[in-house]
Amino acid sequence: MRLSWIFGSSMEAHHLLAAYVAVWLIQGGYAGWIAWQWVRAGKELQADLSLNTGEDEEF
Amino acid sequence: MRRSRIYGTVGLVWLVLTLAAIAHGTRLALVVAPTEATMGNVQRIFYYHVPTSMLSLLFPYVNFIASVFYLGWRRRDPMRALTADAVAIAAAEVTVVFSSLSLLTGMLWGRAAWGIWWTWDARLTSMLLLWLLYVSYLMLRKLSATGQTQTLAAVLSVFAAIDVPIVFMSIRWWRTQHPAPVFFGGEDSGIDPSMMPAFGWNVLGWAMWGVFLLVFRYALERRRQEREQEAALKSIEGSLEMAQ
């Protein structure tokens, strides 16, 4: 079966495409947000730890 | 360091397998599965709608169990309680993501199949209530300024979990607009065997994705907790130095 019908102009084609795209976008967006927060929290934690151990201090 | 590298590798392998399962499931759903006789192609929403709905009824139990453990441990073993709390918040967020998608894909299907976006049917209403309960849980955690936020959230989670069996049973107890149960719904339930591979692969793929999100979000929360502990420690040390 060909996939071209999914890009047709009928309501069922629009809604089917919208449902699949919405799932990918929302799931991907949430995973992306976690990844971004993960990197940010890691950098902040690293900065805190180096501040505590005095690694960054020059004197 | 070595341990975190092992976790990273396992996570990456899991993610690759998950994406492969979802891609295969999507191909089966859109290309291989037969077109349903009465609804036509719009029925293919079912292959995403049902797995997301199933998972949106599963993750609240993870939140519930973790909250019960949090309540039990919060005085006796605060460190373990923090672990349970991290699982609880991760499960609540994943619940909101899956239940939002369940409602959204259901509405898109409903508009094409019934001609309406929404109706106050027993299943739709109880699902909306579930979504509202977990959004409230997250808002409480985000906005509450009391020192008891985690405990209040854990208690709310216990009440929210009561809605889960109501959502599941709603299409069995009340025959309203929502279609009858496809699985575990008696003799007339079930789908054509030719549709099973598309359905099965999507359940597997999205369940693996849900587990991935849960573990990743849990790890993020643990990292945040670690940072808060560091900040608290630093503040105590600062106060002690000032006192001296």
In this predicted structure, what is the pLDDT of residue B118?
93
Question: Higher pLDDT residue, B65 or B172?
Answer: B65
List chain A residues with pLDDT less than 50. Answer: 56-59
Per-residue pLDDT tens for B146-170? 778 999 999 999 999 999 999 998 8
Q: How many CB atoms within 10 Å of residue B126? A: 20
pTM of the model: 0.90
Residue of A nearest to B52 (CA): A23
CA distances to A15, B108, B110 from A8, in Å? 11, 16, 19
Per-residue pLDDT tens for B129-140? 999 999 999 999
Cβ of B41 within 8 Å of Cβ of A27? The answer is no
Which ranges constitute the DSSP H helices of chain B?
Answer: 2-27, 46-56, 59-73, 78-113, 122-143, 149-160, 163-173, 196-243
Residue position matching structure tokens 């106050």: B120
Please determine, for residue B56, whether its predicted confidence score (pLDDT) is greater than 80. yes
Cβ of A37 within 8 Å of Cβ of B220? The answer is yes
Cβ of A31 within 8 Å of Cβ of B213? The answer is yes
Percent of chain B scoring above 90 in pLDDT: 69
Where is average pLDDT lowest: A47-56, B201-210, B222-231? A47-56
CB-based contact B232:A53 (threshold 8 Å): no
- The beta-carbon neighbor of A22 closest among B26, B101, B219 is B101
Q: What residues in A contact B96, CB-CB < 8 Å?
A: none
How close are the terminal C-alpha atoms of chain B, in Å? 36
Residues of A at the B interface, defined by Cβ within 8 angstroms: 1, 3, 5-6, 11-13, 15-16, 18-20, 22-23, 26-27, 30-31, 34-35, 37-38, 41-42, 44-45, 48-49, 51-52
What residue type is B211 in one-letter code? V
Q: How many CB atoms within 10 Å of residue B222? A: 17
In this predicted structure, what is the pLDDT of residue A59?
41
In this predicted structure, what is the pLDDT of residue B11?
93
Instruction: State the DSSP code for B183.
Output: S
Q: A37 to chain B, minimum CA–CA distance in Å?
A: 7
Please determine, for residue B201, whether its predicted confidence score (pLDDT) is greater than 50. yes
When scoring A5, A30, A40 by the number of chain B Cβ atoms within 10 A, the one with the most, hence best to mutate, is A30
Percent of chain B scoring above 70 in pLDDT: 98
Q: What residues in A contact B40, CB-CB < 8 Å?
A: 12
Cβ of A11 within 8 Å of Cβ of B112? The answer is yes
Burial of A16 (0-12, 13-18, 19+ CB in 10 A): buried
In this predicted structure, what is the pLDDT of residue B236?
86
Query: What integer is the mean pLDDT of B172-198?
Result: 80
Q: What residues in B contact A45, CB-CB < 8 Å?
A: 223, 226-227, 230
Which token pair is B223?
Answer: 């990292």
Please determine, for residue B13, whether its predicted confidence score (pLDDT) is greater than 90. yes
B49 touches chain A (CB under 8 A): yes
Per-residue pLDDT tens for B57-104? 999 999 999 999 999 999 999 999 999 999 999 999 999 999 999 999
Question: Higher pLDDT residue, B148 or B55?
Answer: B55
CB-based contact B32:B201 (threshold 8 Å): no
Of B62, B20, B97, residue with least CA distance to B218: B62
B27 touches chain A (CB under 8 A): no
Q: A38 to chain B, minimum CA–CA distance in Å?
A: 6
**Average of per-residue pLDDT values in chain B:** 91
Interatomic CA distance for residues B162 and B11, integer angstroms: 32
Domain boundaries, chain B: 2-243
B166 touches chain A (CB under 8 A): no
Residue of B nearest to A25 (CA): B101
